Amino acid sequence: MGNFAYFMKRRTAISDLEDARNRRDFDLLGTLPKCVRPVGARKANKEENRRLALKFGAEYFDGTREQGYGGYHYDGRWRRVAERAVRHWQLRPGSRVLDVGCAKGFFVNDLREALPGLDVVGIDVSDYALENAHPHAKPYLSKASCERLPFADNSFDAVFAINTIHNLDRAGCERALREIERVCPGRGFVQVDAYRTELEREVFLEWMLTAKCYDTPMGWLQLFHRAGYSGWHWWTVLQADEEISR
């Protein structure tokens, strides 16, 4: 009886948490085209490809699809995402925005173009990405880790960490979430890898190269709660039936 009561109480607490967090979900990347992922192609030489990808160098950004993006080039697709972000976060000229894991700065560039006067900066751990960044964004990018953001408390009006923090282990993810909340309380956005079924988990593990932390949406919500993160969120999910992800 005691165990049953504990189980019911725990379920209620999780349900309340999920309801609260679901009011903070937002599909920021909903305007991006859906991509078919050739999952089977990464089965061969998976460990070597993963080793190369985790260097976040030329192989990961501009090598083969088995090792990463297969060529990370500017094509303007982030413009509509940037416009959507400006509207949703009600940004104004002079608003300060941070892109965590900015890579080559495409989102930083398009945010600055979407709203002239917007103060946007980006950070990344990849020397290669920063050295090969979009020329208009490059002056606003710097090398830093999301586990220790080099900015003062409450210094941004919006912080975006899109498919970035899951490249850390679970403890690192919690540190990153705390840092995002510290510099931008309640106005961050985090998108991470997730799965809803065992089949989706299997497909994800076959495709994944760099993620070190991945979970169900409920598992992520619990981590958000533990870290004190109160911003917006969304999930990157590989759909096993069509092998489609955003």
Residue 53 covered by a domain: no
Residue 224 covered by a domain: yes
Q: Per-residue pLDDT tens for 115-133? A: 999 999 999 999 999 999 9
Find the mean pLDDT for residues 8-17: 36
Residue 183 covered by a domain: yes
Number of domains within the chain:
1
Find the mean pLDDT for residues 143-156: 98
Residue 20's pLDDT is 44
Residue 67 covered by a domain: no
Domain that holds residue 232: 2-41+74-245
Which token pair is 193? 């890898």
Residue 23's pLDDT is 63
Residue 192 covered by a domain: yes
Return the minimum-mean-pLDDT range out of 10-24, 81-95, 136-150, 229-243: 10-24
CATH of the domain at 88: 3.40.50.150
Scanning the chain, the segments in alpha helix (DSSP H) are: 2-22, 46-53, 58-62, 78-88, 106-114, 127-131, 170-183, 198-207, 217-227
**CB of 29 closer than 8 Å to CB of 191:** yes
Residue 58 covered by a domain: no
